[in-house]
């Protein structure tokens, strides 16, 4: 009956729970208990079944690491074998790691440790799990007592049953007692007017009620009273059984035997005993198993199954201890936990729950998870956090970051607890980040300060040129007594001033060697020796000054400014870098401290960005009703005048503004980006906003740093710039004078100012023309303002009176460019004209560089052409002078005409234009009458630059205006070879006469004179050099007349000979009218250029009177038709040998008397011929001349006959064999 009542109660509870859906599983959550349907576990179950069936196997091990699934194997096995399940016990004992803070309130020890459990406690624990497994009724004899529920109903039933059993015994032995009771009951009923049946029924009910009261009293009294103390006499001795040192198992061995004897349990599963780190417990259990199996009273086999880790025993002990070992392959470890994780997420997706967790994230975190329970708990907690923090608060949070935090929470629970308290290793990591950023910013600032100091010092240095610095150095090392021109180093190395002035000389190179002397020139110009005691120091000083000056002189300054801009960008950028970006860009050990890096999971999550600066959002509720702790810290910093970062995070900006007083907005500590952004974006706090802005305009370095950063992050830029410009009219002057501010940054400010502030404010901001100069000097200024309204831009140009010399107009609004062109607001230079031409007509832009003036004429834009003509000097200097130009001839003539009054300008034009005028008159020929001198200078320049086509016509036209000046003569001289062959028919005698009389050089004179012909030579010879006259003689410019000869004899007597030689015919005709000197006669006769007719005329005319020895000798060598008078004159000038030659030369013209005279003068062999008194014979040597002589003697009848033969003379000196000519002299009558 009682059992029926209990079952009925359970069914009612089950129905109630079903109605409340208490057993309905929530999708996604899973308990952490072992499963009873293990996958891929058939072999484990088969192995266990085999072992249980094997009568010899009594100790079985399921060996595998923690979390391998050993408990799940047991659950699955027992579920499959229900008979074994009914006869099995499961005992689990474990010691778990806890945080020492729980055990000990001190925070010095933050290590984890296991709860210590003594061996006796372990064995007691096992016994408890044994005995408390079964009801007290199954082991009534056990001394292992335990409290149990006492049922009042069951006690009442027992009392009723005892009462009913007692009635027959009483009736048998005490019948009268029952009769008395009955009569009393009936009598009492009658007194109450009850029948006998009703009276007995009421009595029975009252008896049952009394038994019920007794049952309830029994239950209450039994649970409230216990025996706490037993007092014995003082001499009473109580002795134990001598088992004080025995183990718990030994003490309660009979209880254990009794337990297994009276119960049906055959299988005991021990789990987690290996976590106790006490292998001795296994020894006791094996001993217990052996004792139980050897106990004869227990007929069935008792099997102990141990779920342990593999390394609980050594190799040999392990196989010795267990009868059968079943290895368990882990269901999950660090290598496959990702697959399990993925499967869990996939099941959630299939059930309709989507998590934004990528496969990459799973692969990243899974190596850190090696336990199935941990993984399942991570997922459960993720669901809780996501549903509570993300979905519950409708926040857009990242699932991966939330999951990462849950992973960290499960693997490092104590660190996660610290994180919620805003301390611990995670907090330390972000403190490391702030510290690293501060260090990097300080390093960058130090470098900015260094570079800024260099630039400022260079700017302040009065010696802006390196050469001036070198000159100052050479003076200072002499003590300012003169200038050093030589520095001797090492007795052998001389460094001269010329070397120091050459290139980038290094002053420190002088300091590396010892100085031995200085040679200088003092102030009086004398050479002296000098010495310098602080030479090394001066070298170092001037080296530093040279470095600074290089910044000003060259690209080094721009390089330094760019470096400063880069450093500022680094400072700005690193402020906003996330932890992940920092760890990616820099080494991890540079950013994180060692304590943080030792936490590998944390370090990994920081690197991957799974745990970042927003971690607090993922672990805390957000309550928006008050300011945060961080906000309060900022307020306190402002009130304490403590500086904070401009980016200091403020969560409740409006509330922070409300809590700050207006006067506090005059403090530098108020500077905060979020604060000013809120002031600009909301109304009602204009006073505090204006105070903030006013303070920013104080040109303080911190104020500027705030402005420079805020301008990049604000969403209210227009209002900010407008207010700042009103409060700070000197803003642009300050910006432009900041040497450390890059051009890009200044241009950004320019764009912002022009776009947002009005014209009046811009004009007011143009202090010291700083705004005008910046826009004019930078070529891309207009481009950078292209996004600004065109009318606004032109208004700025107009009001600031801008003129652009190097402006890029590409992509600039056409309205702006047209206005600039029309109003001539551009400089006349190649760059601007190219850009303007390209803008108006791209097809003509190629001609701007090599034919600019012609291109502008072709452009047909009157405003441009007029602007150029109004600025001819700029056009010539800035454009024409920059290269070789090829403008059209008419355009160049026009340009020259406009520059004719400025020789410097047209010289530039001529030196760079490739033009060559066909006719010199086409180049300003119309201006000769009005500007004669200017035209002459221009034409001279044309000739010098070879800009005139080379022709006698152009030379004649120049001569016709300006005669043969020096320039024309030089032009002729330089081009004489090219003038040869050109027509000269149109040249008149005046031109040729002037040319002959000019100072043209002899080379050109000689080359060109043959090209010219005069009709009437009228050039005075006295005005010419002998060389020129000689040239004229050669070219027969001078006619041979008596007056001309006489002028030649007067002016150039030395040239009479060539004059005659080049005019021999005319000379022969006039030979009797001209006078010749003896020397001239001799020269003419002996000249190889003299014709024979001329020689004969001269000899016959002047020979007798002006015979010379050289003429006589010449007559010996050459035969002429001369008279006897000339022969005699020549004979008298010669010696005997030459007389003999003369006689033989002119033998044919001599008669007998002449021959007799000759024989008389000659003597010798001819002496016998003198005697002509009688006829006689004379001998002559036999020779050709003698043969001719005797023949002529025979002809003139000087001899009668002659013959050749041997000599008739006798004597020893006579050669009898020598042939002679024998002549018979005829006796003179």
Q: How many residues does the chain have?
A: 1229
Task: Kindly write down the DSSP assignment for every residue of 1101-1132, as one continuous string.
Answer: HHHHHH--HHHHHHHHHS-----HHHHHHHHT
CA distances from 788 to 384, 614, 776, 796 (A): 54, 39, 17, 11
CA distances from 974 to 443, 912, 966, 1008, 1182 (A): 70, 20, 12, 12, 70
Residue keyed to tokens 């700025």? 796
Report the alpha-carbon distance of residue 776 to residue 826 in Å, rounded: 9
**In the chain, where the domains are located:** 31-98+117-146+249-327, 152-221, 455-559, 624-728, 1027-1075, 1077-1149, 1167-1229
| Domain at 1167-1229: CATH code | 3.30.1370
Report the alpha-carbon distance of residue 839 to residue 811 in Å, rounded: 10
Handedness of CA 1071, 1076, 1080, 1081 (dihedral sign): positive
pLDDT score at 1212: 57
Residue 775 contacts residue 802 (beta carbons within 8 Å)? yes
For residue 221, count CB atoms less than 10 angstroms from its CB and return exposed for 0-12, middle for 13-18, buried for 19 or more. Answer: exposed
CA distances from 549 to 455, 464, 468, 590, 738 (A): 9, 6, 10, 38, 18
CA nearest to 310, candidates 297, 322, 300, 301: 322
Residues sharing a CB contact under 8 Å with residue 1053, sequence separation 6 or more, in sequence order: none
Residue keyed to tokens 């000899």? 1099
Report the alpha-carbon distance of residue 135 to residue 262 in Å, rounded: 12
Report the alpha-carbon distance of residue 77 to residue 81 in Å, rounded: 6
Q: Which two tokens stand for residue 223?
A: 């649970």
CA nearest to 307, candidates 613, 632, 77, 85: 77
Quick check: helix, strand or coil at residue 1219? strand
Quick check: helix, strand or coil at residue 98? strand
Dmax of the chain from CA atoms? 258
Interior angle at CA 156, CA 183 and CA 199, nearest 5? 20
Phi-psi category of residue 860: left, alpha or beta, with phi > 0 → left and psi -120 to 50 → alpha:
left
Strand locations in 509-574 (E):
515-522, 527-530
Q: Which two tokens stand for residue 781?
A: 């200024």
Residue 298 contacts residue 181 (beta carbons within 8 Å)? no
Residue 341 contacts residue 18 (beta carbons within 8 Å)? no
Displacement of CA 102 from its chain's centroid (Å): 56
Residue keyed to tokens 């729950």? 353
CA nearest to 664, candidates 631, 628, 627, 638: 638
Residues sharing a CB contact under 8 Å with residue 236, sequence separation 6 or more, in sequence order: none
**DSSP state, residue 1088:** T
Residue keyed to tokens 């950028």? 573
pLDDT score at 27: 53
Residue 458 contacts residue 631 (beta carbons within 8 Å)? no
667 phi and psi, to 5 degrees?
Answer: -100, 145
Residues sharing a CB contact under 8 Å with residue 618, sequence separation 6 or more, in sequence order: 385, 389, 397, 401, 402, 405
Q: Helix-strand-coil percent breakdown of the chain, rounded to 5? A: 60, 5, 35
264 phi and psi, to 5 degrees?
Answer: -100, 10
The side-by-side arrangement of strands in the sheet containing 1176-1181 is 1176-1181, 1219-1225, 1199-1206
Residue 514 contacts residue 489 (beta carbons within 8 Å)? yes
CA distances from 100 to 112, 598, 609 (A): 6, 20, 31
CA distances from 402 to 396, 468, 617, 884 (A): 11, 69, 9, 73
Quick check: helix, strand or coil at residue 939? helix
Number of helices followed by number of strands (H, E) in the chain = 66, 14
Quick check: helix, strand or coil at residue 640? coil
Strand locations in 185-227 (E):
none
Residue 1089 contacts residue 1059 (beta carbons within 8 Å)? no
Report the alpha-carbon distance of residue 826 to residue 7 in Å, rounded: 108
Displacement of CA 211 from its chain's centroid (Å): 103
E strand or H helix that includes residue 1030: helix 1026-1034
Report the alpha-carbon distance of residue 848 to residue 837 in Å, rounded: 8
List, run by run, the mean pLDDT of 10-residue segments along the chain (1229 residues): 51 50 53 71 82 83 76 82 80 55 38 55 70 66 59 70 74 69 74 75 79 69 51 49 57 73 80 69 78 79 82 63 80 70 75 77 79 77 73 64 82 80 80 86 85 70 66 86 83 75 72 78 81 84 78 62 78 76 85 86 83 72 60 82 87 86 86 91 85 90 90 90 91 86 87 89 88 87 88 88 87 89 86 88 87 88 88 87 87 89 86 88 87 88 88 89 87 86 84 84 83 84 83 84 86 86 86 86 85 85 83 84 86 87 87 86 84 85 87 87 80 68 85
Residue 924 contacts residue 957 (beta carbons within 8 Å)? no
Handedness of CA 986, 989, 993, 994 (dihedral sign): negative
Report the alpha-carbon distance of residue 527 to residue 485 in Å, rounded: 9
Residues sharing a CB contact under 8 Å with residue 135, sequence separation 6 or more, in sequence order: 148
Quick check: helix, strand or coil at residue 680? helix
| Domain at 31-98+117-146+249-327: CATH code | 3.40.50.300
**DSSP state, residue 488:** E
Residue keyed to tokens 């080049």? 1062
Report the alpha-carbon distance of residue 439 to residue 985 in Å, rounded: 94
Report the alpha-carbon distance of residue 516 to residue 531 in Å, rounded: 9
Quick check: helix, strand or coil at residue 799? helix
Domains 31-98+117-146+249-327 and 1167-1229 share a fold: no
Report the alpha-carbon distance of residue 697 to residue 852 in Å, rounded: 49
Quick check: helix, strand or coil at residue 1201? strand
pTM of the model: 0.46
For residue 1008, count CB atoms less than 10 angstroms from its CB and return exposed for 0-12, middle for 13-18, buried for 19 or more. Answer: buried
CA distances from 876 to 467, 838, 846, 852, 898 (A): 31, 20, 18, 10, 11
Interior angle at CA 628, CA 626 and CA 629, nearest 5? 135
Phi-psi category of residue 91: left, alpha or beta, with phi > 0 → left and psi -120 to 50 → alpha:
beta
pLDDT score at 216: 67
Residue 139 contacts residue 259 (beta carbons within 8 Å)? yes
E strand or H helix that includes residue 595: helix 594-598
């Amino acid at each position: 009956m009682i059992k029926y009542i209990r079952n009925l109660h359970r069914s009612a509870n089950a129905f109630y729970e079903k109605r409340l859906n208490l057993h309905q599983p929530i999708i996604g959550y899973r308990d952490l208990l072992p499963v009873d349907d293990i996958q891929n576990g058939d072999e484990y179950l088969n192995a266990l079944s085999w072992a249980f069936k094997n009568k010899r196997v009594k100790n079985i091990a399921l060996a595998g690491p923690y979390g391998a699934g050993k408990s799940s194997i047991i659950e699955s096995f027992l579920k499959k074998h229900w008979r074994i399940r009914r006869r099995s016990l499961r005992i689990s004992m474990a010691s778990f790691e806890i945080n020492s803070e729980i055990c000990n309130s001190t925070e010095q020890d933050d290590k984890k440790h296991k709860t210590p459990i003594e061996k006796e406690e372990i064995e007691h624990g096992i016994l408890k799990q044994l005995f408390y497994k079964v009801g007290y009724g199954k082991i009534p004899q056990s001394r292992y007592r335990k409290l149990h529920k006492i049922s009042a109903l069951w006690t009442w039933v027992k009392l009723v049953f005892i009462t009913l059993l007692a009635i027959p015994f009483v009736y048998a032995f005490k019948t009268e007692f029952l009769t008395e009771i009955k009569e009393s009951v009936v009598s009492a009923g009658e007194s109450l007017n009850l029948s006998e049946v009703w009276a007995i029924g009421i009595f029975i009910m009252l008896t049952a009620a009394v038994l019920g009261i007794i049952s309830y009293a029994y239950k209450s009294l039994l649970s409230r009273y216990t025996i706490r103390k037993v007092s014995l006499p003082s001499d009473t001795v109580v002795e134990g059984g001598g088992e004080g040192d025995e183990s718990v198992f030994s003490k309660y061995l009979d209880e254990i035997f009794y337990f297994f004897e009276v119960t049906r349990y055959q299988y005991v599963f021990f789990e987690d005993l290996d976590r106790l780190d006490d292998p001795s417990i296994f020894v006791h259990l094996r001993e217990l198993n052996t004792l139980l199996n050897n106990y004869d009273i227990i007929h069935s086999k008792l099997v102990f199954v141990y779920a342990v880790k593999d390394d609980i025993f050594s190799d040999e002990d392990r196989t010795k201890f267990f009868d059968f070992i079943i290895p368990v392959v882990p269901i999950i470890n660090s290598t496959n936990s990702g697959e399990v994780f993925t499967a869990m997420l996939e099941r959630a997706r299939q059930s309709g729950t989507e998590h934004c967790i990528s496969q990459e994230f799973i692969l990243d975190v899974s190596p850190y998870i090696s336990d199935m329970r941990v993984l399942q708990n991570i997922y459960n907690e993720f669901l809780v956090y996501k549903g509570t923090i993300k979905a519950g608060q409708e926040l857009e949070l990242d699932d991966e970051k939330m999951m990462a935090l849950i992973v960290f929470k499960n693997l490092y629970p104590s660190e996660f607890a610290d994180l919620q308290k805003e301390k611990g290793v995670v907090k330390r990591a972000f403190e490391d980040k702030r510290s690293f950023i501060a260090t990097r910013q300080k390093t960058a600032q130090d470098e900015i300060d260094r570079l800024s100091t260099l630039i400022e010092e260079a700017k302040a240095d009065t010696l802006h040129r390196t050469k001036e610095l070198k000159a100052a150095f050479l003076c200072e090392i002499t003590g300012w007594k003169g200038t050093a021109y030589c520095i001797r180093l090492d007795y052998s190395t001389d460094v001269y001033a010329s070397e120091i002035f050459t290139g980038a000389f290094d002053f420190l190179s002088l300091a590396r060697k010892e100085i031995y002397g200085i040679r200088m020139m003092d102030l009086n110009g004398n050479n002296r020796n000098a010495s310098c005691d602080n030479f090394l120091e001066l070298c170092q000083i001037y080296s530093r000054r040279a470095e600074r000056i290089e910044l000003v002189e060259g690209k080094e300054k721009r390089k330094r400014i760019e470096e400063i801009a880069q450093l500022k960008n680094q400072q700005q950028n690193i402020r906003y870098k996330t932890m992940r970006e920092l760890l990616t860009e820099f080494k991890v050990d540079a950013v994180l401290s060692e304590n943080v890096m030792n936490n590998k999971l944390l370090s990994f999550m920081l690197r991957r960005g799974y745990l970042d600066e927003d971690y607090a959002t993922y672990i805390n509720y957000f309550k928006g009703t008050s300011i945060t702790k961080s906000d309060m810290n900022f307020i306190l910093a402002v009130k304490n005048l403590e500086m904070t970062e401009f980016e200091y995070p403020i969560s409740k900006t409006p509330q922070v503004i409300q809590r700050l007083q207006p006067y506090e907005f005059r403090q530098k500590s108020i500077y905060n980006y979020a604060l000013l952004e809120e002031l600009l974006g909301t109304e009602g706090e204009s006073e505090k906003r204006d105070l903030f802005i006013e303070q920013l305009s104080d040109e303080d370095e911190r104020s500027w740093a705030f402005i420079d950063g805020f301008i990049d992050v604000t969403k209210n830029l227009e209002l900010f710039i407008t207010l700042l410009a009103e409060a700070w009219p000197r803003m642009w002057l300050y910006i432009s004078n900041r040497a450390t501010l890059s051009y890009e940054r200044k241009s950004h400010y320019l764009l912002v100012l022009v776009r947002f502030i009005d014209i009046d404010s811009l004009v007011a901001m143009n202090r010291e023309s700083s705004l005008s100069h910046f826009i004019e000097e930078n070529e891309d200024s207009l481009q950078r303002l292209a996004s600004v309204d065109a009318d606004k831009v032109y208004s700025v140009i107009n009001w600031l009176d801008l003129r652009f010399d190097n402006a890029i107009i590409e992509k600039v609004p056409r309205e702006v460019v047209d206005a600039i062109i029309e109003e001539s607001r551009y400089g006349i230079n190649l760059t601007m004209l190219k850009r303007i031409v390209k803008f108006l007509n791209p097809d003509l832009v190629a001609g701007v560089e090599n034919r600019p003036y012609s291109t502008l004429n072709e452009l047909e834009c009157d405003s441009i052409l007029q602007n150029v003509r109004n600025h001819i000097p700029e056009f010539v200097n800035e454009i024409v002078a920059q290269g070789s130009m090829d403008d059209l001839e008419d355009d160049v003539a026009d340009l020259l005409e406009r520059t004719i009054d400025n020789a410097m300008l047209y010289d530039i034009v001529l030196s760079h234009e490739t033009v060559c005028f066909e006719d010199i008159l086409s180049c300003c020929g119309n201006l000769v009458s009005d500007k004669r001198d200017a035209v002459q200078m221009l034409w001279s320049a044309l000739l010098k630059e070879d800009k005139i086509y080379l022709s006698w016509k152009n030379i004649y036209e120049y001569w016709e205006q300006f005669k043969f000046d020096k320039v024309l003569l030089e032009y002729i001289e330089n081009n004489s070879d090219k003038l040869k062959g050109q027509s000269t028919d149109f040249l008149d005698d005046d031109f040729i006469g002037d040319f002959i009389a000019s100072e043209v050089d002899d080379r050109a004179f000689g080359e060109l004179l043959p090209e010219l012909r005069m009709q009437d030579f009228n050039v005075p010879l006295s005005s010419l050099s002998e060389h020129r006259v000689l040239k004229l003689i050669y070219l027969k410019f001078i006619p041979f007349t008596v007056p001309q000869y006489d002028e030649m004899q007067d002016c150039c007597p030395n040239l009479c000979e060539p004059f005659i030689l080049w005019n021999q015919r005319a000379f022969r005709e006039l030979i009797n009218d001209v006078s010749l000197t003896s020397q001239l006669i001799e020269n003419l006769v002996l000249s190889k250029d003299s014709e024979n007719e001329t020689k004969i005329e001269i000899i016959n005319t002047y020979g007798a009177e002006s015979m010379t020895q050289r003429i006589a000798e010449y007559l010996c060598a050459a035969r002429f038709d001369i008279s006897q008078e000339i022969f005699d004159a020549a004979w008298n000038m010669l010696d005997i040998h030459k007389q003999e030659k003369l006689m033989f030369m002119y033998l044919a013209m001599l008669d007998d008397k002449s021959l007799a005279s000759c024989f008389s003068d000659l003597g010798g062999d001819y002496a016998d011929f003198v005697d002509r008194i009688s006829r006689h014979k004379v001998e002559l040597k036999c020779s050709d001349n003698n043969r001719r002589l005797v023949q002529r003697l025979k002809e003139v009848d000087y001899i009668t006959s002659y013959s050749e033969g041997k000599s008739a003379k006798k004597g020893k000196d006579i050669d009898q064999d020598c042939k002679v000519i024998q002549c018979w002299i005829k006796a003179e009558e």
